[in-house]
Structure 1
């Protein structure tokens, strides 16, 4: 049996995920040698529009081109993996959800003309087509990508974190920054996988890994931080930075800014 064919595609994003992968110099060649690379735009100008076994996609669905492209990618791939917060949740740009697209154009480009075929909002890939696996983070963790790729090559279902950063704090015996210092830490609603890097440096989690899919209690987090004296709008802005399109959060944001 030959190698699986894999491709790395980009929608609207900064390609930080691919920079992370290409920066894994110590294992990069061995890792990517596990598959036949059909396309990897940041590493090569080669383009491929055929069938692949695994499609890795970064970036949000923000333009008409993105929408058409991701549908074609989905149709051409057996397994689709969303890489990074833009692909999973729409990214930081999704924090503009609900704002007037014409006003966004005016504020940035000084025109109301719909440049680049902007769809009016930034969506995660799963809002448009079925996604098999999601690797969260802004950017992703290289070791997590490596585990997923190896599992897929071995025909093993990847196991991705479905618990909060708080669990990693407990494992590493890091004092709770909410309890001990009263900081507005988003660890309780943010998916693990970073080894609680920021709390380990005594810095509150800002949620860059994105919310825990279907389980983040954003209303409870907001209520807790309000009791600690934090401003509602500040907390909602913080939560919306990486998770504006999370279920339940959009209504909280709209309610807090009305």
Structure 2
């Protein structure tokens, strides 16, 4: 029997989520015995137009060419899985969406801006095509990737774990840095997947896995204000890696405008 076919595509990103594949080590070798990886530039395989069972997509849509390319990827894939913060919410590059001054920034940065082809706003993959599964994180975890592959190959809906990081902290018996240290921890509104890595080492979660299910972002922001954080500092907690995730964007913009005196949404 033919092996299931897999592709890993890169769009605007840092390659970190692709490296999660490579960092699987022995597990990647075992996976390669079960599937056929046809396109994965980071690993040296190039066949971008091939038809596959599962296409993993890293990165955001930042250029007109990427808008065209993602349509081809979708058409050639049975399942399309977006991986990482850039693909699921626009990532760090989507921070330029906040100011709405795309042309000014481009012209200030590049000596020949007429040669730079970019979209007015950065978009997640799901803004342009149907996505069958979103794996959040910056970067995603190897456990997420392996679990998704196993489920999809058996036509089983993968588990979309939206538990809060706080629940993972309790499972790991980690001391709450929000309660004990008055640290501006995003754990109460951030989905797990990282294993509560930062809080377990005494650091506040900074929301790299995106919003959890029904996140009470406004309430958490008020708690941060009670710690003495200024509006700009509160806004930065939400308007960071996953700034375009609706829940984070709403609360972040409220405090961002409060800090600048601009009340327009």
Q: Same fold (TM over 0.5)?
A: yes
1:82-107 Cα shifts (integer Å, max 9, x gaps): 01110001111112213201122134
Q: How far did 1:156 drift?
A: 2.1
CA distance in 1, matches of 2:56, 2:22: 14
CA distance in 2, matches of 1:54, 1:26: 21
User: Counterpart of 1:229?
Assistant: 228
User: Counterpart of 1:141?
Assistant: 141
Give the secondary structure class of the aligned counterpart of 2:139: coil
Q: What pairs up with 1:1-258 in 2 under 5 angstroms?
A: 1-99=1-99, 100-110=101-111, 112-113=113-114, 115=116, 117-212=117-212, 215-255=214-254, 256-257=256-257, 258=262
Contact 1:34 1:153 in 2 (8 A): no
Contact 1:97 1:244 in 2 (8 A): no
Q: TM-score, normalised by structure 1?
A: 0.93
Per residue, is there more strand in 1 or in 2?
1
CA distance in 2, matches of 1:11, 1:237: 25
Q: How far did 1:114 drift?
A: 6.1
Contact 1:222 1:232 in 2 (8 A): no
Residue ranges of structure 1 left out of the alignment (5+ in a row): none
CA distance in 2, matches of 1:110, 1:227: 45
Residue ranges of structure 2 left out of the alignment (5+ in a row): none
Q: TM-score, normalised by structure 2?
A: 0.91
Count of residue correspondences: 256
Cα gap change, 1:209 to 1:114, in 2 (>3 Å): farther
1:171-195 Cα shifts (integer Å, max 9, x gaps): 1121211111100000111110111
Q: How far did 1:167 drift?
A: 0.6
